[in-house]
Amino acid sequence: MISRCTFVFLFFVLGKHFLVDGLGCNWGTRATHPLPGNIVVKLMKDNGFNKVKLFEADPLALRALGRSGIQVMVGIPNDMLASLAGSVSAAEEWVSRNVSYYISNRGVDIRYVAVGNEPFLKTYNNQFTRTAFPALQNVQAALIKAGLGRDVKATIPLNADVYETDAGVPSGGDFRADIRDLMISIVKFLDNNGAPFTVNIYPFLSLYADSHFPVEYAFFDGTSSPVVDGSITYTNVFDANYDTLVSALEKNGFPSMPIIIGEVGWPTDGDPNAKIEFARRFNQGLLNRISRGQGTPKRPSPPDIYFFSLIDEDAKSIDPGNFERHWGIFYYDGTIKYTLNVGNNRNVTAAKGVRYLARKWCIMAPDANTMDPNFPQSINFACTYADCTSLGYGSSCGGLDIRNNASYAFNMYYQTMNQQKGACDQFHGLSVITRIDPSNRGSSCKYEIMIDTGRHEKVENPGTSSAGKMHISLVFVAFFVILEVNSFLFLIL
């Protein structure tokens, strides 16, 4: 999908059995004030996460992962596919700079290269259809030439819309007609090189895209709206979606193809269904299944699974929806959103050593008037350069009145600009700095103070994030245009 440090459960194959080998995550770095790499790595290790997927070869992240004992899947963005597809030497250079170097010189345990991310999404209109497979071939060839072919495998994380079922049940699964031949070629190449098929499955998006989608069918403990496929009854969309892929692989001659779930999770803000309770329910349900060694009806052993995501990203694209910035198990600063048992009766623990900017906020001035002609444009200006996604309908700050709406927007801009002198003076005399936290106790809406990215020593959390807090979504009701969102997840009903 989309952006991000996503939880991942990976398993080593022993004969025909899978044994849990720890936790992993997608670590996205699209943030205005990223959590320092050393703190993120410690956060992962403190919580038992020993595998991570990166969406690009971020130097700071890779350096932090050096000699950490954490296994890495390093990604290549879609905008690099054309250059890698067109030149073997470009692929060799990329592998040398981003794989060989970090393995040999930095001690990074790289196991996979993710070539692109969901390149065949229908919404991309075939933009990457001709480049993804050649890029995969060239990267794998470069890995082999570098002497890494046995230890590092190239794969393509794909969206679940690359397969479908005309019959409406998983057993009818096949690859999407317009890319079927291409998909078979890719799967054959992965199989020949001992690489897994990587797919991203998002039950949340099924619910988001269809107002008539049965809510209970999105969760693992739901009992309503089952789908009957011959002798098999599916009680949740994850199993049905996954087994549709298994059927597609079987139908095309790859019944034993290993599968990795590259992304799966639930956001906590930016949409009425993106909330703490649902995220906890979904992620805990999936973790419980993994701890029991439970797979799907067609594959009883659990696959390798990367939960999405580790940390929120406030600079991530919201083209798919405002929820895109709120997939993290943790908030942007590594604080806990909700209790999650990650195994052995161990709950997730917060990041340590996070340093924050000063305890001050930019809010609407008490004497400012909402009828001021500069009022609408001031809010629009603030939310153009800062993350206001939590102000959307059904989001954590969606219930604020008009003055608090403005205060939230002004403060997000002020914090995003590092509380710089003059940053709170951009709103035509409508704003003022305060040292009194404007967050209302008992409310899910919190006025943030950002991470001081230049200082890493341990300090106490100033209280602007909490375990009960939700995320951030766009839309100041009176002045913003609600964004139209393209849905791209294959749905199974």
Residue the block writes with tokens 């908030």: 331
Q: Assess contact for 357 and 451: CB atoms under 8 A.
A: yes
Q: Encode pLDDT of 250-290 as tens digits.
A: 999 999 999 999 999 999 999 999 999 999 999 999 989 98
User: Who has greater pLDDT, 491 or 138?
Assistant: 138
Give me the amino acid identity at 281.
R
Report pLDDT for 203: 97
Report pLDDT for 400: 94
Return the minimum-mean-pLDDT range out of 41-50, 101-110, 231-240.
41-50
The answer, yes or no, to whether residue 191 has pLDDT greater than 70, is: yes
Give the angle 146-147-152 at the CA atoms, nearest 5°: 95
The answer, yes or no, to whether residue 16 has pLDDT greater than 70, is: no
Report pLDDT for 24: 78
Which residue in the list 56, 118, 164, 324 is annotated as catalytic? 118
Q: Name which of 199, 242, 237, 241 is nearest 220 in CA terms.
A: 237
Computed over every residue of the chain, the mean pLDDT equals: 88
Q: Name which of 204, 98, 227, 206 is nearest 154 in CA terms.
A: 98
Q: Name which of 327, 335, 211, 349 is nearest 278 in CA terms.
A: 327
Question: Which whole number is the average pLDDT over 192-218?
Answer: 96
Return the minimum-mean-pLDDT range out of 190-204, 315-329, 357-371, 433-447.
433-447
Q: What is the DSSP letter of 5?
A: B
User: Who has greater pLDDT, 409 or 9?
Assistant: 409
Q: Assess contact for 5 and 311: CB atoms under 8 A.
A: yes
pLDDT band of 484, cuts 50, 70, 90: very low
What CA–CA distances, in Å, run from 242 to 101, 159, 253, 372, 448? 36, 11, 17, 54, 38
User: Does the active-site annotation cover 164?
Assistant: no
Which residue in the list 164, 263, 313, 448 is annotated as catalytic? 263
pLDDT band of 57, cuts 50, 70, 90: very high
What CA–CA distances, in Å, run from 207 to 160, 362, 459, 491, 492? 15, 36, 40, 9, 11
* The token pair that represents 183 in the structure block: 């998909």
Percent of the chain past pLDDT 90, that is, above it, reads 81
H helices of 386-439, where?
A: 402-416
pLDDT band of 442, cuts 50, 70, 90: low
User: Who has greater pLDDT, 47 or 95?
Assistant: 95
The answer, yes or no, to whether residue 480 has pLDDT greater than 80, is: no
d(CA 59, CA 274): 32
User: Does the active-site annotation cover 448?
Assistant: no
The answer, yes or no, to whether residue 482 has pLDDT greater than 90, is: no
First to last CA, the chain: 21
Q: Name which of 443, 434, 8 is nearest 261 in CA terms.
A: 8
Percent of the chain past pLDDT 70, that is, above it, reads 87
Q: Name which of 27, 95, 92, 41 is nearest 70 in CA terms.
A: 41
Cβ neighbours, 10 Å, residue 399: 14
Question: Which whole number is the average pLDDT over 125-135?
Answer: 97
Q: Encode pLDDT of 314-367 as tens digits.
A: 999 999 999 999 999 999 999 999 999 987 888 999 999 999 999 999 999 999
Question: Which whole number is the average pLDDT over 443-452?
Answer: 93
Report pLDDT for 264: 95
pLDDT band of 215, cuts 50, 70, 90: very high
Q: Encode pLDDT of 220-258 as tens digits.
A: 998 777 999 999 999 999 999 999 999 999 999 999 999
pLDDT band of 22, cuts 50, 70, 90: low
For residue 149, the Cα-to-chain-centroid distance in whole angstroms is 28
Q: Name which of 281, 300, 302 is nearest 291 in CA terms.
A: 302
Report pLDDT for 5: 45
